[in-house]
Structure 1
Amino acid sequence: MSTVAVKSAQLAGGPLLPYAEAGGPNGVPVVLVHGIGDSWWTFEPLLRQLPAALHAFAPTQRGHGDAERPEDGYRPEDFARDLVGFLDAVGIGRAVLVGASSGGVAARIVAGSHPDRVAGLVLMGVPATLDDKPAAAALWETVRDLRDPVPRGFAEDLLDGLVDGPVGRGLRATMTEESLKPPARVWRETLRGLMETDLAATLRGILVPTLLIWGERDAVLPRADQQLILDTIPGSTLTVHEDAGHLLYWERPERVARDLAAFAARVLPPDPESSPEGGTTAGGAGTSG
């Protein structure tokens, strides 16, 4: 089981972001990107299952968790810009980007705009579009009227709608607390940015190897949504976990870890000559937290 270290990275001209780091220091760099309302903690079960062949980084995005909360900058392109800034801050030249849920939007924007920095793209339960998603429209009806402090019942109800199978009580409690950290304005502006962006357009122009991982019991995303991504990104492939829901990396972290390791080994084999301090693979520019 991998050890998780929590550090922080100061983005050039941007916010200070905490991040978790796990896996082998000489492993293939993998950057995990969480969705709205989450933090690096959403990947904690997955981080602990990662093999030494992977060197994983999971930043908390601006406004979320314990990251700094600028007054603005909560559209998908802003989060994508931060993601490139994070790669720079921790000294990663090329990485496998792994986007979870809405975090996959920022990840795929970077894959399309900075292919030199992305060896491969993994989308875990990521929507092709929100235009036809009743759950997204219902969430917006609630979020646009949110006031501080964010109600605990809001966070609990949201998680209940995303989990299909049993997860640890401690994880559910932690993620409820993490969901309460973003102020109402961050929830509102982040979701507004997603709803107002042409998400289908962010799928075009992606030429890096791409893997979709989807839970067949996902109550939010139908298989047809994933098919739209497959039809748009050339050469993309789909792995289906029949017994998992939207948060499959909570429910089946061991299997997802194997999926990531196999994909990473194919698209970016580790360089035995690389140093953990070098900038071509993974660096150590962050500070321990």
Structure 2
Amino acid sequence: MSAVAVHSAVLGDGRPTLPYAEAGRSGGMPVVLVHGYVESWWTFEPMLRRMPSALHAYAPTQRGHGDADKPPDGYLPEDFATDLVAFMDGVGIDRAVLVGGSSGGVQARLVAGRRPDRVAGLVLLGVPAVLDGKPGVAEVWETVREMEDPVDRAFAEDFARGLTADSVARGFLETMVDESLKAPARVWRETLRGLLETDLRATLTGILVPTLVVWGDQDPVLPREDQQTILDTVPDSRLVVHEGAGHLPHWESPERVLHDLSAFAAARA
């Protein structure tokens, strides 16, 4: 098992301070894990404690989420992407494999498209190509747009449970619900608004780094056709299907995701 250490990154220039978890071996291939909507670095905890010595993983908590600073604005995907580059600067990462989970893959692919000099490769774990036409997303937005503090725990629990197809350890799921409740209602609202109002298809253009797309075939949010859009748009991309997995394969089968990531990163070293 790998030791997991938690630190804080002060981004400077008026940007928020972000907690981040670190695991693996110093000198290993740098990997930056980017969490999704109303999550925190804890979403990758099952992977971090299994991190092989060949990799040096960093998992920041993004602005507004978890224990990160919560500024009044800056919740567009491009804001999170700018923070991600600032985080890499702050902790001294010149170039890394970026791993985006769910909506975290949007800011990861923005960085990959705009700053390929900083990205050795891109891994997308259950990341949407687009959100248009997805009934489940529209239903969540109808609730979130009217949300007020305190965020209803029952809603947060239903939201988290609805993302997986297989059983996830009860304690871990409860932790993720607790982490989601650290985000105030305005962060739930403005982050989702930013995703819905951004042309997500356009964020796929210009990505020339090697890209691994990981998708669970029981994903209740993303159909296979959505993932095919990524493959058709990103030139050097390939798909790995996790049979029986839902929207968050890194929750349901962290060992297999790590195997995929390790093989992909080894080819980029």
Alpha-carbon shift at residue 235 of structure 1 (Å): 1.8
Which residue in the other structure is 2:126 paired with?
A: 125
Which residue in the other structure is 1:250 paired with?
A: 251
Rounded to whole Å, the distance in 2 between the matches of 1:163 and 1:171 is 13
Q: Structure 2 unaligned segments of length 5 or more: list them.
A: none
TM-score after normalising by structure 2 = 0.99
Which residue in the other structure is 1:235 paired with?
A: 236
Rounded to whole Å, the distance in 2 between the matches of 1:245 and 1:23 is 27
Which residue in the other structure is 1:111 paired with?
A: 112
Which residue in the other structure is 2:211 paired with?
A: 210
Number of residues of Structure 1 aligned to a counterpart in Structure 2:
268
1:65-214, aligned counterparts within 5 Å? 65-214=66-215
Which residue in the other structure is 1:25 paired with?
A: 26
Name the SS of the counterpart of 2:131 in structure 1.
coil
Which residue in the other structure is 1:278 paired with?
A: none
Which residue in the other structure is 1:11 paired with?
A: 11
Rounded to whole Å, the distance in 2 between the matches of 1:20 and 1:232 is 32
Alpha-carbon shift at residue 154 of structure 1 (Å): 1.2
Alpha-carbon shift at residue 243 of structure 1 (Å): 2.0
Which residue in the other structure is 2:43 paired with?
A: 42
Rounded to whole Å, the distance in 2 between the matches of 1:176 and 1:44 is 14
Name the SS of the counterpart of 1:230 in structure 2.
helix
Q: Which has the higher contact order (CA 8 A, sep 6+)?
A: 1
1:256-275, aligned counterparts within 5 Å? 256-267=257-268, 269=269
Rounded to whole Å, the distance in 2 between the matches of 1:214 and 1:53 is 24
Which residue in the other structure is 1:220 paired with?
A: 221
Name the SS of the counterpart of 2:117 in structure 1.
helix
1:131-178 per-residue CA deviation (whole Å, 9 max, x = no partner) reads: 121111111101000000001011101012101111111101100100
Rounded to whole Å, the distance in 2 between the matches of 1:244 and 1:50 is 21
Alpha-carbon shift at residue 22 of structure 1 (Å): 0.4
What amino acid maps onto 2:3 in structure 1? T
Rounded to whole Å, the distance in 1 between the matches of 2:140 and 2:244 is 25
Moved more, 239-248 or 78-87: 239-248
Rounded to whole Å, the distance in 1 between the matches of 2:261 and 2:267 is 10
1:81-119 per-residue CA deviation (whole Å, 9 max, x = no partner) reads: 000000000000000000000000000000000000000
Name the SS of the counterpart of 1:67 in structure 2.
coil
User: Identity rate of aligned residues, in percent?
Assistant: 69
TM-score after normalising by structure 1 = 0.92
What amino acid maps onto 1:25 in structure 2? S
Alpha-carbon shift at residue 12 of structure 1 (Å): 2.2
Which residue in the other structure is 1:2 paired with?
A: 2
What amino acid maps onto 1:11 in structure 2? L
What amino acid maps onto 2:6 in structure 1? V
What amino acid maps onto 2:220 in structure 1? A
What amino acid maps onto 1:117 in structure 2? R
Name the SS of the counterpart of 2:45 in structure 1.
helix
Name the SS of the counterpart of 2:201 in structure 1.
helix
What amino acid maps onto 1:137 in structure 2? A
What amino acid maps onto 2:170 in structure 1? R
Rounded to whole Å, the distance in 1 between the matches of 2:253 and 2:6 is 23
1:170-223 per-residue CA deviation (whole Å, 9 max, x = no partner) reads: 101100100101000011000000000000000000000000011111111001
